[in-house]
Amino acid sequence: MSEPLPTSVDLARENEELRYQAEEAQELIHAIRTGAVDALAVQSPEGPRIFTLQGADQGYRTLIEQMNEGALLLSDDATVLYCNACLAGLLGRAMTELMGSSFDDCVPLAFRDYWASLMQQGWSGKSKGELLLQTKAGALVPFSVSMNVLMFNETPVLAVIVTDLSAQREITAIRAQVQEKTPCSTRRTKR
């Protein structure tokens, strides 16, 4: 014996419930991307998984958000799962624009192989290097990157710290110019 076909009222009710669930999911995704909710969306083989941060983790989240370095979490395909406001500012992009996008888009084509090598080393343990990244305006900025694998609710993610090297490079260039223009007699050290 087959089940009776649903009535139009049953179908309308089910349709309304599905619409409500889709709206809730969209609101949650928007809240995660804008940072209104302390959560992280991670793509897994079973589909997207959403992890909310525990209260004990709030101190760490505050630390990451307040530091002067860029911080991000990457999936194995270089999708930005999380980034802090500093990273967005360094790259001249909105956080919502970065999260969910491929970080490879910020790496100039000439440096993609090097970036891939750094990431591969990072996934194998730890990795450090220097790399030019491209801002939204197209400027190339030198950065130091440091990365290692973290387990986030049993899902591995690549944690990356990005430090702007622009000021350091400017200071080095100025020192070199000063030394070039300084006569040899004034370079002697006093004893």
Give, for all 191 residues of the chain, the pLDDT tens digit: 678 888 888 889 988 888 888 887 777 767 766 666 666 655 556 666 666 555 445 555 555 566 678 889 899 999 998 888 889 999 999 988 998 899 999 999 999 999 999 999 999 989 999 999 999 999 999 999 999 998 877 788 999 999 998 865 555 555 666 666 666 555 555 54
Residue 16 in any domain: the answer is no
Residue 5 lies in a domain: no
Residue 152: per-residue pLDDT = 75
CA-based end-to-end distance of the chain: 104
Per the structure, how many domains does the chain have? 1
What domain range includes position 105? 54-172
Q: Is residue 135 part of a domain?
A: yes
Residues 63-85: pLDDT tens digits?
Answer: 556 667 888 989 999 999 888 88
Nearest to 57 by CA among 39, 41, 30: 39
| 190 inside domain | no
Going by C-alpha positions, the residue among 94, 152, 156, 90 that lies closest to residue 119 is 156
What is the rounded CA–CA span in Å between residue 55 and residue 113?
Answer: 39
Structure tokens at 163: 């430090």
Task: Retrieve residue 35's tokens.
Answer: 């940072």
Residue 187 is assigned to a structural domain of this protein: no
CATH value at residue 166: 3.30.450.20
Quick one: pLDDT at residue 56? 43
- Residue 3 burial (C-beta neighbours within 10 Å; 0-12, 13-18, 19+): exposed
In a domain, 60, yes or no: yes
46 domain-assigned: no
